[in-house]
Structure 1
């Protein structure tokens, strides 16, 4: 009797081990299939649909897309000086510039597993802006980091976008903009005085104009939007710049869900 009981328990334990292993195998199989569908099937399906609609671009590369090529093009572009009359697109967004040159006005590039479409036909652009409920941005779905930088009207969708656009439109009327001229005049007058002081002793000076105009732009925004000055909000602008720079670096990497917890 005892022997039969032991055999029965041994058989039950064996079955439990088998069931546990089968359950784990089933879970792993489901996860592997979902990852395959997410990382390969969905992007390739989108690529097929885009090509059927007349768009052209590089074939999809698993997870990385065109990010690696874009990173290399950025390093190459930033290694050379840029002239005053040079086209800025090859330096700011070289992968898009290359795609336009190679594939024409209707093209797409891969930001990881997400295709980004470029359209240069004014009629198509008008259609996208008119049917805002159909053509949505989906920033959060593409990359959650975008929520750090793209806020306000630029991040809204559908009816909320239309409502807020109506609210801010009066602020951009010509008469309203005329009221900002005094702020522009004050900022650029200060800039001219600063530049004259720099050249008083030598007659000329070599300087990096990018941070200078970045400061001027921030000062204009502070005076027109908040009624203060760049000096008062200097720390806030510095933090925003740091967030922007970090976000740009992270955007060059593939966006894998929950990878930040690994």
Structure 2
């Protein structure tokens, strides 16, 4: 009996610890899914904010899924650019019923929609440090791209200084890839023929190739594999963000969690191998700095020496994070911009003619577009701005309060998500006029500051000190590629094209972008 009692003591301890853990988890779920939502909802309601009521435990997630399914079941009839009911149907309904500043619930977390340019600028400027990116989302997104966008304070400033010079190394790779793209299209179209090409995967491959070549030089095949994984990872992360969050859920061995973890491990393994090869080449004096990785590592060493540190400022994990971010941010932004630009110019051939006339005037029919000429392309610039307005790559930004903050006369307690619906701001008739849903590049004839009634109200790359570091290069890339295409082809929509924009990691064509190309 004594022996049995002794043997049972460890099991009693295990059961006791298990019970404590279970009670703690149950309390955390109760706090997260009932107590906090009730407290936050009452605090917002008491100040006159309208919106949907919290429904335990999913909030508006079920309605969100239902509306998305309905919206995706039918395309938009071109040449309409009124896309907000399709790309964000829940927000569309909530704003229509409850106003531009209104509350919705994604699970137990209140999201306050802030559809006001002045308040959006104030939030993104973050002058007083009252906002941060969603804590839960940050943990998931780090699996995809834990670079510059995840950092704060001095670490963010240091990384940005190191990264800035790296963008200049992308230009030769982009020129080479654009030339290959146009040559391949010419071969497929042939002489005096019209050929249908789905430009969406074409532009994805273009930007993926550019990042791979520019980032790793000779490690091109490894770079392509990273591009493929990151594309899948982006879709998985969006699925995780739009599901009900429970404490510790992302650590459970679900099929999705296992896939996200496996993808993250494979990318990190590939990147570590590439970095170690480069480190050995640098030690042997045979390394080239003609790619992003070389620039990143050399600038890191220089920054560390300037700061008087014996160890590099950026660790191996830091460099891996920045390279993952280059893939995520660099490949999709330019690809979707070029895709929607070709779709818009196919819908509005008069602007295609104007853009081609300008390109031929600046570069002629055969000359290679260069930096000096690209800076002269005013009409092309106006077109790209209007495409970014109508089809912003990222349709919303989210920020979370971590201390009480007054904004627009409302006091927001800690823990509230402020959702900045960029696509709604860009289509707001109170801001842009009655023609807000129309393609009118001439509105940017005098620049961004005079394009809208509320100046400025144009946020395709964010705003404030943390505006996208690659925005200028993305626009230069797009001008370069579009100039090459306009020199060689005329184009229009294919009869098979369905106008169906939908947000994945970026605003993408749900059924591709089939364009009829004709060689000039």
TM > 0.5 between the two?
yes
Correspondences of 1:184-199 after superposition (within 5 Å): 184-199=174-189
1:164-183 Cα offsets, whole Å, 9 max, x none, are 44555x549xxx76x75554
Q: Does 1:238 align with 2:218?
A: no
Whole-angstrom CA distance in 1 between matches of 2:218 and 2:50: 48
TM-score, structure 1 length as denominator? 0.69
Instruction: Give, in whole Å, the separation in 1 of the partners of 2:214 and 2:45.
Output: 45
> After the TM superposition, which residues 111-126 of structure 1 pair with which residues of structure 2 at under 5 Å, given as runs?
111-126=106-121
**Structure 2 gaps, min length 5:** 1-17, 255-520
Residue 237 of structure 2 corresponds to residue 247 of structure 1: yes
Structure 1 residue 208: Cα displacement: 3.1
Check conservation: 1:54, 1:106, Cα contact below 8 A: no
Distance change (3 Å), C-alpha of 1:181 and 1:164: closer
Name the structure, 1 or 2, with higher relative contact order (CA <8 Å, separation 6+): 2
Decide whether the 8 Å contact of 1:77 with 1:91 is kept in 2: yes
- CA 1:199–1:261 in structure 2 vs 1: closer, same or farther (change >3 Å)? closer
What residue is the counterpart of 1:47 in the other structure? 41
CA distance in 2, matches of 1:50, 1:246: 32
Match of 2:59 in 1: 65
Tell me the residue number matched to 2:98: 103
Q: Does 1:213 align with 2:209?
A: no
More strand by share: 2
Asked if 1:149 is matched to 2:144, the reply is: yes
Note closer, same or farther for the CA distance 1:31–1:167 as it changes in structure 2 (3 Å cut). Answer: closer
Q: TM-score scaled by structure 2?
A: 0.38
- State the match for 2:132 in structure 1: 136
User: Which structure has the larger Rg over C-alpha atoms?
Assistant: 1
What secondary structure sits across from 1:145 in the alignment?
Answer: helix
Q: Tell me the SS of whatever aligns to 1:115.
A: strand
Instruction: Specify whether residues 201 and 133 from structure 1 end up closer, same or farther in structure 2 by C-alpha distance, changes over 3 A only.
Output: same
1:65 and 1:112 in contact (8 A); partners too: yes
* Residue 35, structure 1, aligned to residue 29, structure 2: yes
- Over the aligned positions, Cα root-mean-square deviation in angstroms equals 3.7
Q: For this pair of structures, how many residues does the alignment match?
A: 233
Q: CA deviation at 1:191?
A: 2.2
Deviation at 1:213, TM superposition (A): 2.0
1:46, CA displacement in angstroms?
1.8
Residues 216 and 223, structure 2, Cα contact 8 Å, conserved in 1: no
Q: CA deviation at 1:235?
A: 1.0
User: In the TM superposition, what whole-angstrom CA distance separates every residue of 1:24-82 from its partner, at most 9, and x where no partner exists?
Assistant: 99998776555333211201222233344564321112121222222222222222234
SS of 2:113's partner is strand
Per-residue deviation, 1:150:
4.4
